[in-house]
């Protein structure tokens, strides 16, 4: 059930759910520094799942053997976004 999502795609998703005044890169830097993980990342995750289900209808996203907890998925999203900040 492996699906790759590039950082640029996550940043594009962040742009679609962010409505603030800062540039998205600056906002992501600030949000990534906060604990607990900011709500923006939950919105990104929801949008990501919707996108993946539409793009990969034959994949099984029902969380079988390869399931991850929500916290782990959010950590992975944050790790990918931090990679080039």
Q: What is the reported pLDDT for 36?
A: 74
Write out the H or E segment, with its range, that includes residue 53: helix 39-55
Residue 2 lies in a domain: no
Reported pTM: 0.70
Q: What is the reported pLDDT for 28?
A: 87
Domain that holds residue 47: 7-82
Per-residue pLDDT of the chain (85 residues; tens, 9 = 90+): 466 778 888 888 888 888 877 788 888 888 888 877 778 888 888 888 888 878 877 876 666 555 555 667 788 888 888 876 5
Other Cβ atoms closer than 10 A to 31:
19
Q: How many domains does the chain fold into?
A: 1
Q: What is the reported pLDDT for 71?
A: 66
81 Cβ neighbours under 8 A, 6+ residues apart: 7, 10, 11, 14, 28, 32
Residue 1 lies in a domain: no
Hunting for tokens 């950082």 — which residue is that? Answer: 7
Q: Are 1 and 61 in contact (CB under 8 A)?
A: yes
């Amino acid at each position: 059930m492996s699906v790759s999502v590039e950082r640029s795609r996550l940043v594009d998703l962040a742009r679609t759910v962010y409505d603030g005044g800062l540039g998205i890169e600056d906002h992501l830097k600030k949000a990534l520094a906060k604990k607990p993980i900011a709500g923006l990342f939950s919105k990104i995750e929801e949008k990501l799942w919707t996108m993946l289900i539409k793009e990969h209808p034959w994949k099984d996203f029902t969380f079988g053997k390869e399931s991850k907890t929500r916290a782990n998925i959010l950590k992975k999203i944050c790790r990918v976004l931090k990679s080039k900040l």
